[in-house]
Amino acid sequence: MPFISKEQVAFFKEEGYLLVLNVLSPKEVDYYSKLYNSFLNNEIDATSYRSDLSGSDGVQEKITQIMVPSKLMPELLQRPFHQKSLRIAKQLMGDDIELDFDMLINKAPNTNAITPWHQDTAYWINMPDKRAASCWLAIDPAFKDNGCMWYTPKSHRSPLLPHTQTGNKGALQCEGSEENSVCIPLKPGSCVFHAGGTLHYSRGNSTNDNRRAMITNFRPKAMIALERAQGVDHTGERKTRI
């Protein structure tokens, strides 16, 4: 049975993002919550894939990014989030769509570091087939003050904007604004898909709790092969192609 309706597929294609409620049950969220903490507190050693997206030189990580958790824990690929988000991604973009990479992004309490406006395409090599989407799953409630995601509708239809790198090997940034964008608060277990070209950002976390998100990224199998042939597996340093 399809997970999402034809109307939802049409909305994603038109607007460049799509909210999907209750992809995971509370019990499933509980599994990911415990696992996530094992990554954050280094019980699972992800040192070589871990960095601070805020580009801060300080001792405290503000925005922890852990790339490719499923490389360290391949069983994740069979778990509900990867399986369900892949099914939805195929519905959104076609049967040739596969998982390219996954990641964890946590905004630590009271760190107040924004994720700057960017289009994910700026992080990737130029690919002839532009179909791509990320699925951003809330492990904690996500809302404005702890850094829920903001998207600029229809921005995936415009050309890639110029991006620059922030801080010490931090996130890429371009021009963007909350004024013409929508914020998507989420309950744990709900998610948002956004297209590779969709402009997005999040405010900093000014609350006393973590803001944990798990993200899967999808594109055509042939484009993943093209990336791998060029040595791209999303485990290395952040780069800009502009």
Ligand X SMILES: O=C(O)CCC(=O)C(=O)O
Shortest approach of ligand X to residue 38 CB, angstroms? 19
What count of Cα atoms within 13 Å lies in the side-chain half-sphere of residue 227? 23
By CB under 6 A, tell whether 136 contacts ligand X. yes
SS3 213: strand
Token pair of 217, please?
Answer: 């990224």
By CB under 6 A, tell whether 105 contacts ligand X. yes
Identify which of 105, 108, 15, 119 has the alpha carbon closest to the alpha carbon of residue 60: 108
Identify which of 91, 176, 83 has the alpha carbon closest to the alpha carbon of residue 133: 91
By CB under 6 A, tell whether 147 contacts ligand X. yes
By CB under 6 A, tell whether 213 contacts ligand X. yes
Candidates 18, 35, 215, 224: give the one binding ligand X (CB under 6 A). Answer: 215
By CB under 6 A, tell whether 101 contacts ligand X. no
By CB under 6 A, tell whether 204 contacts ligand X. no
Measured from the CB atom, the residue of 105 and 223 that comes closer to ligand X is 105
Find the binding residues for ligand X in span 112-131 (CB under 6 A): 115, 120
Compute the distance between CA of residue 86 and CA of residue 88 in angstroms, rounded to an integer: 5
Q: Do 149 and 210 contact (CB within 8 A), yes or no?
A: no
Residues that bind ligand X (CB under 6 A): 105, 115, 120, 134, 136, 147, 200, 202, 213, 215
